[in-house]
């Protein structure tokens, strides 16, 4: 107790500053609920205040807030005339461009929710995502037409979805089928009058997909109120300002780029520079060209930038604040020193989570704080924080409970699962997924008191003596590679399908000097009947590039549990270490796009970083 009180005194200044920021954030949320104005209503007010201010910059094209407001009204009026109404869902599949934001914003003006589809998907996973939200329509760009064409018969037949293409292709090969009706000319001719619909904060605004631990992506429901919650985090916790110019290269179908970053533009009027994707060569050049002051990051991006040869642009930009996740502790200070970025705001959280956290004091590697005062008792923690770290079984991930049936809280430097209490307050709500079963799996009951409910993050965190939070690992069957969450079950299903339906186990393996974990598939191949090159060709048609297994191990036997489930524990321990594995292991050479045998020489090159991943 005395040690805790001493720590409370030592960290009080930091914690008070954090509570002050959090207080402003909560005040904003209470104000939003008092006004009961939805996202499109708030946007309309902002556009009327700064009509000539630039909202988006995309290549040589600039959108003012006034133009964007008129365009979103046209979107709303057009699709209303096509029969879409409040409560309907549509699937939106479009690469990074201002229209991908303005279309869902326009649809929200008539109460239609948009599902933001990963542009890397195709085939069955793409059809699955469209089915999850009962899409009445699919809106896509010409660049996505070939992927939509592959499943168009199922979309139009089974789902009875209408296909709307926004724009004509710049280049089209003779004989190529261009599916969907080009709506862009009709939309331009529509009325720009604001529609009469008035929604509620409880209405669904967007669906953002997240890789679950049990297979294909889940659609997380994002209500109007949640959009405000997200916007407040960057605004009041990360200190983004009205005069900031944000650089957006992350996919707009992601929560980070499409919701967290775009919310600053839609609600607070920040100018956003949108580019098609990340380019290590052009990153700082773009930021200098457009006087960008803030941006988001993922760990891989920071590593790519740091590995680039030094050049004058490294310090000529005006980026002062970067918000994101995955920045390695060892990279933190060197990155700031080289590029002169004053603030690194590392975030911990998930698309659907009600318990996100952010680094506010610049401690390298930290994802936030667990206020020291919350250690005095669970009652105090419940009053101030509503978040806990509980002990879980190291193999099953199940919560460990005491004699009273409640979960056991961890102490300093002790890893456990991060959970957040589900409350009726806006910041404590958990909206769940489109299917009830997936939602229930993410809820723990009787955590710190009988009858309570907590969101189960599936992530292992710990806090040090000073209360700094650190992310350690995931308990579920997902891993993160190239800034994307990958579901092992999804990859297992695709690989097994094309590997003669042999049993397959997919895990994430750590590689030195790389953020996240790379995919490794272990396939039971009794008679050497798997053609790896043919397998690669087929799985590449269904899996995004980041989900392709970097390593493949062929084996004759995988240990099973008493219920005949394939065990991963031993495979995780062995990884791709050919010194401890007698089975043949193959490595995906990205230059030749072939699986090559992993030799001791190649293994050492991967370990030393000579092979660039």
Q: Domains along the chain?
A: 2-21+363-474 (2.30.38.10), 36-277 (3.40.50.12780), 478-608 (3.30.300.30)
pLDDT at 496: 85
Angle at 272 between CA 65 and CA 40, to 5 degrees: 45
- 551's CB contacts (< 8 A; 6+ apart) are 509, 518, 519, 520, 521, 576, 585, 586, 587, 588, 598
What's the average model confidence in pLDDT over 318-346?
Answer: 92
Range among 34-38, 104-108, 144-148, 149-153 rated most confident = 104-108
Provide the pLDDT for residue 201.
Answer: 94
Q: What percent of the chain has pLDDT over 90?
A: 59
Whether the pLDDT of residue 188 is over 50: the answer is yes
Distance of CA 250 to the CA centre of its chain: 10
CB of 325 closer than 8 Å to CB of 300: no
What confidence tier does 183 reach under pLDDT thresholds 50, 70, 90?
very high
**Ramachandran angles phi, psi of 520, nearest 5°:** -135, 125
CA-to-CA separations, 487 to 216, 218, 257, 294, 545, in angstroms, rounded: 7, 11, 21, 31, 13
What pLDDT does 222 receive?
93
pLDDT in tens, 371-386: 877 776 666 666 667 8
- Average pLDDT on 408-427 reads 89
Confidence of residue 351 (pLDDT cuts 50, 70, 90): confident
Poorest-pLDDT segment among 46-55, 60-69, 218-227: 218-227
Mean pLDDT for the stretch of residues 521-536: 86
Listed range (114-123, 487-496, 569-578) with the worst mean pLDDT: 487-496
> Is the pLDDT score of 458 beyond 90?
no
Helix axes 2-35, 224-232, angle to 10 degrees: 130
pLDDT of 22 reads 87
| C-alpha atoms less than 13 angstroms from C-alpha of 292 in its C-beta half-sphere | 26
Q: At 345, give phi and psi (nearest 5°).
A: -105, 90
DSSP symbol at 177: -
Window from 212-216, 295-299, 306-310, 402-406 with minimum mean pLDDT: 212-216
CB-CB contact of 181 with 174 (8 Å): no
Confidence of residue 52 (pLDDT cuts 50, 70, 90): very high
Q: Residue 565's pLDDT is what?
A: 60
pLDDT computed for residue 384 by the predictor:
66
Give yes or no for residue 213 having a pLDDT over 50.
no
For the ranges 87-96, 288-297, 392-401, the lowest mean pLDDT is seen at: 392-401
Q: Where are the beta strands (DSSP E) in 179-308?
A: 181-182, 204-210, 218-223, 245-248, 271-274, 294-298
pLDDT at res. 453? 95
What is the average pLDDT across 155-176? 76
Residue 483 has φ and ψ, to the nearest 5°, of 75, 10
Query: What is the reported pLDDT for 215?
Result: 52
Q: What is the pLDDT of residues 224-237, one digit of tens each?
A: 999 999 999 889 99
Non-local CB neighbours of 610 within 8 Å, separated by 6+ positions:
none
Whether 214 shows a pLDDT value over 50: the answer reads no
What pLDDT was estimated at residue 377?
A: 65
- DSSP E strand boundaries for 446-503: 453-463, 468-474, 478-481, 484-487
Q: Are 370 and 470 in contact (CB under 8 A)?
A: no
> Which has the minimum average pLDDT: 79-88, 336-345, 425-434?
425-434
Residues of the chain above pLDDT 70, percent: 94
Q: What is the largest CA-CA distance in the chain?
A: 78
Instruction: Residue 505: count other Cβ atoms within 10 Å of its Cβ.
Output: 21
pLDDT for the residue numbered 266 = 97
pLDDT at 563 over 50: no
Q: 114: helix, coil or strand?
A: strand
Average pLDDT over residues 484-493: 81
Return the exposure string of 518-556: e unless at least 16 CB atoms fall within 10 Å of the residue's CB, then b: bbbbbbbbeeeebebeebbeebeebbbebbbbbbbbbbe
Output the pLDDT for position 147. Answer: 93
Q: With a cut of 60, say whether residue 211 has pLDDT above it.
A: no
pLDDT of residue 476: 63
Of residues 18 and 217, more confidence is placed in 18
């Amino acid at each position: 107790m005395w040690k805790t009180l001493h720590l409370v005194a030592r960290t009080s200044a930091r914690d008070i500053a954090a509570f002050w920021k959090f207080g402003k954030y909560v005040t904003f949320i209470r104000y939003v609920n008092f006004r009961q104005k939805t996202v499109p209503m708030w946007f309309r007010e902002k556009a009327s205040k700064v009509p000539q201010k630039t909202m988006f910059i995309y290549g040589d094209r600039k959108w003012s807030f006034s133009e964007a407001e008129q365009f979103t009204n046209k979107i709303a009026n057009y699709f209303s005339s096509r029969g879409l109404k409040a409560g309907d869902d549509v699937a939106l599949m479009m690469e990074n461009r201002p229209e991908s934001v303005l279309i869902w914003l326009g649809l929200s003006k008539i109460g239609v929710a948009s599902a933001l589809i990963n542009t890397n998907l195709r085939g069955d996973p793409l059809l699955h995502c469209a089915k999850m939200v009962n899409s009445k329509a699919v809106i896509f760009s010409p660049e996505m037409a070939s992927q939509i064409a592959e499943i168009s018969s199922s979309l139009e037949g089974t789902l009875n979805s209408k296909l709307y293409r926004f724009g004509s292709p710049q280049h089209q090969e003779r004989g190529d089928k261009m599916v969907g009706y080009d709506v862009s000319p009709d939309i331009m001719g529509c009325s720009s009058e604001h529609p009469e619909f008035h929604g509620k904060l409880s209405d669904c605004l967007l669906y953002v997909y997240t890789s679950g631990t049990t297979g294909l992506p889940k659609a997380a429901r994002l209500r109007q109120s949640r959009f405000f919650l997200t916007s407040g985090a960057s605004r009041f916790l990360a200190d983004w300002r009205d005069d900031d110019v944000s650089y957006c290269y992350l996919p707009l179908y992601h929560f980070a780029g499409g919701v967290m970053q775009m919310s600053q533009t839609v609600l607070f009027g920040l100018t956003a520079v949108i580019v098609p994707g990340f380019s290590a060569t052009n990153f700082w050049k773009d930021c200098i060209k457009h006087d960008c002051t803030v941006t988001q990051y993922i760990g891989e991006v920071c590593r790519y930038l740091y590995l680039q040869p030094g050049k004058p642009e490294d310090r000529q930009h005006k980026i002062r604040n970067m918000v994101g996740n995955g920045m390695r502790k060892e990279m933190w200070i060197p990155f700031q020193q080289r590029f002169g970025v004053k603030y690194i705001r590392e975030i911990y959280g998930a698309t659907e989570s009600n318990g996100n956290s952010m680094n506010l004091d610049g401690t390298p590697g930290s994802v936030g704080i667990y206020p020291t005062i919350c250690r005095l008792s669970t009652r105090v923690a419940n009053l101030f924080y509503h978040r806990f770290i509980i002990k879980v079984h190291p193999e099953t991930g199940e919560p460990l409970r005491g004699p009273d049936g409640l979960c056991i809280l961890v102490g300093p430097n002790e890893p456990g699962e991060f959970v957040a209490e589900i409350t009726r307050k806006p910041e404590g709500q958990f909206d769940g997924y489109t299917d009830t079963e997936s939602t229930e799996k993410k809820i723990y009951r009787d955590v710190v008191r009988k009858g309570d409910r907590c969101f189960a993050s599936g992530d292992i965190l710990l806090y040090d003596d000073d209360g700094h939070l650190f992310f350690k690992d995931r308990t579920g069957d997902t891993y993160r590679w190239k800034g994307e969450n990958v579901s092992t079950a999804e990859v297992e299903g695709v690989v097994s399908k094309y590997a003669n339906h042999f049993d397959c186990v997919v895990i994430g393996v750590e590689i030195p000097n790389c953020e996240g974990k790379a995919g490794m598939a272990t396939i039971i191949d009794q008679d050497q009947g798997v053609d790896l090159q043919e397998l690669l060709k087929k799985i590449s048609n269904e899996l995004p590039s980041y989900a392709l297994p970097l390593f493949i191990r062929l084996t004759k036997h995988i240990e099973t549990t008493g219920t005949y489930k394939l065990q991963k524990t031993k495979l995780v321990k062995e990884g791709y270490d050919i010194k401890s594995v007698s089975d043949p292991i193959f490595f995906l050479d990205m230059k030749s796009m072939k699986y090559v045998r992993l030799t001791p020489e190649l293994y050492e090159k991967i370990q030393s970083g000579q092979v660039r991943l």
